Chains A and B, each alone.
Chain A
Amino acid sequence: DAGVIQSPRHEVTEMGQEVTLRCKPISGHDYLFWYRQTMMRGLELLIYFNNNVPIDDSGMPEDRFSAKMPNASFSTLKIQPSEPRDSAVYFCASSKDSFRGEKLFFGSGTQLSVL
């Protein structure tokens, strides 16, 4: 399997612009997670989906952030408008199940820089 695929790998944008991050989970995985990593806050869960349905979006920082999963093989995380404090590495991860022993498989991450 190709693993979790994220694009772009790097994104540099100016404050106020719309940013869209993309993720393709591993085929057959029913759970998809979006995390954000910063030096100050570490790895934070933003939102996760089960069978394309958002289950918990309590980690989404504010209304500027939105996430969708239109089908089992694609998800997007959108920031509109972007701000410099959104600069971080955004990871997408997937897992087959939610059982306590089910590990997450991570994509390579998107390094976002908002100038």
Chain B
Amino acid sequence: AQKITQTQPGMFVQEKEAVTLDCTYDTSDPSYGLFWYKQPSSGEMIFLIYQGSYDQQNATEGRYSLNFQKARKSANLVISASQLGDSAMYFCAMREGRGGTALIFGKGTTLSVSS
């Protein structure tokens, strides 16, 4: 079974608008971390934001915020005031508990920002 599901293969948004990229996850571990990475066309993987399963507040990093709904097992990325440079592939990922586990990635969402 997929642990990380990103249901939007592609999203389109205009500059200065906000966009939400969906991510749902599946785990029975009460301790986990959720991550979002950005992969521009140049190929590198850029860390954007992190949310821990015990964090009471939604994480924010500049224009990025994470809409964490634990009961629904969703961790959507919200990008406010989109910029042309936000055009990229975005990956949601999860790391379970403690003990040497790796990041498990979703299939990604391609975001295209137009002027």
Question: Which residues from chain A sit less than 8 Å from chain B, CB to CB?
Answer: 31, 33, 35, 42-43, 45, 48, 50, 55-56, 89, 91, 93, 98-106, 108-109, 111
Contacts and interface: CB of A to CB of B under 8 A. Distances in A.
Task: Place the interface of chain B in its size category.
Answer: 20 to 34
Is chain A's binding surface mostly helix, strand, loop or mixed? strand
Given A103-B47, A106-B44, A98 B105 contact: no
A7 to B, nearest CB: 15
Interface in B38-80: 43-45, 47, 50, 52-53
Is chain B's binding surface mostly helix, strand, loop or mixed? loop
A101 B103 CA distance: 10
User: 10 closest Cβ contacts across the A-B interface?
Assistant: A100-B33, A106-B45, A43-B105, A42-B107, A98-B100, A101-B33, A45-B102, A103-B47, A48-B102, A100-B95
Nearest to A30: B100
B90 interface: no
